[in-house]
């Protein structure tokens, strides 16, 4: 009987793509999907090491799956935590059979003959590295097979993420990603387009640690993200870009995004106070960001915006916080994420003075969250009565260009709308971030009305 697997994914969209690729490898190796984790011979947990909370969730998940596993089943921990804390993690979690870094072939571990409690080498080979000023970048492993270029199964939803590059060449003060994901390695356009065809999705969501920097490591020009977006847009109905570093939001890129018909801009801003941004080792200030947003709105008044901000970065003063509040109020972004600063071992920010007290961080976070929730709700209310084109993701659930999958709100639509189809609907209600819409032709309602009229005619009623 075929051995079975279960993959549990934590963290960001980029991790989801890695999990899809692991799934593709396991299927190719003859494993089949288990119906539930406690029926699998091999359980793979793809972990997240973003911040302390994410690490704790990853460990809790590993322990829970390990406790409920079937007799003889193997548990393998992979992903960012495995890459970053490999040996430490293997020692701390004796119940786990293997801790495997990116790209380690996990299938072999499902075999009953695989030795128990194997700590698989986390690093094999060498990824391109460079001296990043804020953080020591060790010589990092290139996997024995590169997850980036592995085949993926066909998309199970009408949309799919496409990871265009791995790693990051920036040196943001708070971020540990370059230390374990290495320098940026972009995939070739041909590989990416082949993957788009293979996925068969109607919407492709482009992701990378620093998306607009796509291609710079290939020596094919600073702006190869532009031709890539155009090429993907020729193959699918919608293409959406996540995580744009603000200095890379060029006029050409803005025009290209607008031309795709998905005027959605996810800007990785992190803060707006210039001195604090410099302390974060990042570009920009609130004024520059507002200018860009205004320029986009001038070209496309319906453009949707998302951004993320770090609250309580070391040295963040009341004045900095007030600037951020003012910016949020003025920018009127559709969606915003606020995260408390997390002191990540080995990063530039971990040793900075003027660390912000956790209670103060919580207060600032709450204040910003409350402000943005009201803005989001109002912007959603404003859509009531307007027609929108949606992609039906699942029975009764759809999205317009304004909502990125799994991240933003959703639109409740009639169950009768076909999954995977594009439909014109009218927004009839808003519930916080979510909307309720009716089909423009509302087949059932129209049929009912027509039926009424016909029977009235037959019966001679007015
Ligand atoms: S651009 Fe993003 S991934 Fe790169 S160092 Fe900065 S925060 Fe980290």
Q: Structural domain boundaries of the chain?
A: 4-110, 147-381, 387-444
Q: Whose CA is nearest to atom 3 of ligand 1?
A: 209
Full 3-state SS string of the chain:
CCCEEEEEECCCHHHHHHHHHHHHHHHHCCCEECCCHHHCCEEEEEECCCCHHHHHHHHHHHHHHHHCCCCCCEEEEEEHHHHHHHHHHHHHCCCCCEECCCCCCCHHHHCCCCCCCCCCCCCCCCCCCCCECCECCCCCCCCCCCHHHCCCCCCCCCEEEEECEECCCCCCCCCCHHHHHCCCEECCHHHHHHHHHHHCCCEEEEECCCHHHCCHHHCCCCCCHHHHHHHHHHHCCEEEECCECHHHCCHHHHHHHHHCCCCEEEEEEECCCHHHHHHCCCCCCHHHHHHHHHHHHHHCCCCEEEEEEEECCCCCCHHHHHHHHHHHHHHCCCEEEEEECCCCCCCHHHHCCCCCCHHHHHHHHHHHHHHHHHHHHHHHHCCCCCEEEEEEEECCEEECCCCCCCCCCCEECCCCCCCCCEEEEEEEEEECCEEEEEECCCHHHHHHHHHHHHHHHHHCCC
Architecture of the 147-381 domain: Alpha-Beta Horseshoe (3.80)
Task: Choose the most confident range, by mean pLDDT, from 18-27, 36-45, 47-56, 226-235.
Answer: 226-235
Task: Choose the most confident range, by mean pLDDT, from 70-84, 121-135, 431-445.
Answer: 70-84
368 lines ligand 1 (CB under 6 A): no
254 lines ligand 1 (CB under 6 A): no
172 CA from centroid of ligand 1 (Å): 6
209 lines ligand 1 (CB under 6 A): yes
The pLDDT tens digits for 244-283 are 999 999 999 999 999 999 999 999 999 999 999 999 999 9
Average pLDDT over residues 189-194: 93
Q: What is the pLDDT at residue 119?
A: 42
- For the CA atoms of 203, 207, 213, 219, what is the dihedral angle to 10 degrees? -80
The pLDDT tens digits for 127-180 are 443 333 333 333 344 444 456 667 778 888 999 999 999 899 999 999 998 988
177 lines ligand 1 (CB under 6 A): yes
The pLDDT tens digits for 208-217 are 999 999 998 8
Q: What is the pLDDT at residue 18?
A: 84
Q: What is the pLDDT at residue 115?
A: 53
Flag whether pLDDT at 454 surpasses 60: no
Work out the angle between the directed axes of helices 358-381 and 318-331 (0-180°, nearest 10).
Answer: 10
The residue among 133 and 36 whose pLDDT is bigger is 36
Q: Is CATH 3.30.365.10 the classification given to domain 4-110? A: no
In the chain, the percentage of residues whose pLDDT exceeds 90 is 63
The rounded distance, in Å, linking the Cα atoms of 172 and 131 is 13
281 lines ligand 1 (CB under 6 A): no
42-47/264-270 β-pairing: unpaired
**pTM assigned to the model:** 0.81
For residue 210, give the ligand 1 atom closest to its CA: 1
What fold does the segment set 387-444 form as a domain? OB fold (Dihydrolipoamide Acetyltransferase, E2P) (2.40.50)
Q: Whose CA is nearest to atom 6 of ligand 1?
A: 172
Q: In the structure, what pLDDT confidence band is assigned to residue 220 with cuts at 50, 70 and 90?
A: low
Q: In the structure, what pLDDT confidence band is assigned to residue 82 with cuts at 50, 70 and 90?
A: confident
170 lines ligand 1 (CB under 6 A): yes
337 CA from centroid of ligand 1 (Å): 16
Q: What is the pLDDT at residue 138?
A: 37
In the chain, the percentage of residues whose pLDDT exceeds 70 is 84
Average pLDDT over residues 105-122: 54
Q: What is the pLDDT at residue 83?
A: 81
The rounded distance, in Å, linking the Cα atoms of 162 and 190 is 13
Tell which one of 49, 80, 178 to mutate to probe ligand 1, the residue whose CB is within 8 A of the most ligand atoms.
Answer: 178
The pLDDT tens digits for 379-426 are 999 999 999 999 999 999 999 999 999 999 999 999 999 999 999 999
Task: Choose the most confident range, by mean pLDDT, from 10-14, 74-78, 126-130, 336-340.
Answer: 336-340
Flag whether pLDDT at 77 surpasses 50: yes
Q: In the structure, what pLDDT confidence band is assigned to residue 2 with cuts at 50, 70 and 90?
A: confident
336 lines ligand 1 (CB under 6 A): no
Q: In the structure, what pLDDT confidence band is assigned to residue 89 with cuts at 50, 70 and 90?
A: confident
């Amino acid at each position: 009987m075929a051995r079975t697997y279960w993959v549990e994914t934590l963290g960001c969209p980029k991790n989801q793509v890695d999990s899809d690729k692991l799934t593709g490898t396991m299927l190719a190796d003859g494993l089949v999907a288990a119906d539930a984790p406690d029926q699998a011979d091999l359980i793979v947990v793809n972990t997240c090491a973003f911040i302390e909370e994410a690490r704790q969730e990853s460990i809790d998940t590993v322990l829970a799956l390990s406790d409920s596993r079937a007799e003889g089943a193997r548990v393998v921990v992979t992903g960012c935590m495995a890459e970053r804390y490999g040996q430490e993690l293997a020692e701390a979690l004796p119940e786990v059979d293997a801790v495997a870094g990116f790209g380690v072939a996990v299938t072999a571990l499902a075999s009953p003959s695989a030795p128990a409690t194997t700590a698989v080498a986390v690093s094999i080979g060498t990824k391109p590295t460079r001296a990043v000023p804020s953080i020591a970048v060790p010589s990092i492993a290139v996997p024995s097979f590169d997850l980036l270029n592995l085949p993926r199964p066909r998309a199970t939803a009408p949309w799919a993420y496409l990871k265009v590059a791995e790693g990051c060449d920036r040196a943001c003060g708070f971020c540990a990603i370059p230390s374990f994901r290495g320098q940026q390695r972009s995939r070739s356009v041909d590989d990416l387009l082949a993957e788009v065809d293979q996925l068969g999705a109607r919407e492709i969501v482009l992701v990378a640690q620093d998306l607009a920097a796509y291609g710079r490591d290939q020596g094919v020009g600073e702006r190869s993200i532009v031709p890539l977006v155009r090429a993907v847009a020729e193959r699918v109905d919608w293409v959406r870009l996540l995580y744009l570093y603000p200095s890379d939001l060029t006029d050409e890129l803005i025009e290209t995004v607008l031309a795709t018909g998905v005027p959605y801009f996810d800007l990785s801003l992190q803060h707006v106070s210039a001195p604090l941004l410099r302390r974060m080792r990042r570009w920009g200030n609130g004024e520059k960001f507002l200018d860009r947003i205004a320029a986009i709105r001038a070209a496309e008044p319906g453009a949707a915006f998302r951004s993320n901000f770090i609250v309580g970065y070391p040295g963040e003063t009341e004045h900095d916080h007030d600037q951020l509040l003012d910016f949020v109020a003025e920018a009127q972004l559709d969606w915003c994420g606020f995260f408390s600063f997390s002191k990540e071992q080995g990063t530039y920010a971990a040793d900075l003075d003027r660390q912000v007290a956790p209670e103060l961080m919580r207060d600032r976070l709450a204040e910003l969250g409350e402000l943005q929730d009201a803005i989001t709700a109002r912007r959603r209310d404003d859509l009531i009565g307007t027609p929108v084109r949606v992609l039906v993701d699942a029975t009764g659930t759809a999205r317009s260009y304004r909502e990125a999958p799994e991240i933003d709100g959703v639109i409740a639509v009639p169950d009768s709308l076909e999954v995977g189809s594009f439909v014109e609907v009218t927004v009839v209600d808003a519930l916080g971030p979510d909307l309720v819409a009716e089909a423009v032709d509302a087949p059932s309602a129209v049929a009912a009305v027509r039926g009424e009229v016909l029977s009235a005619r037959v019966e001679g009623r007015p």
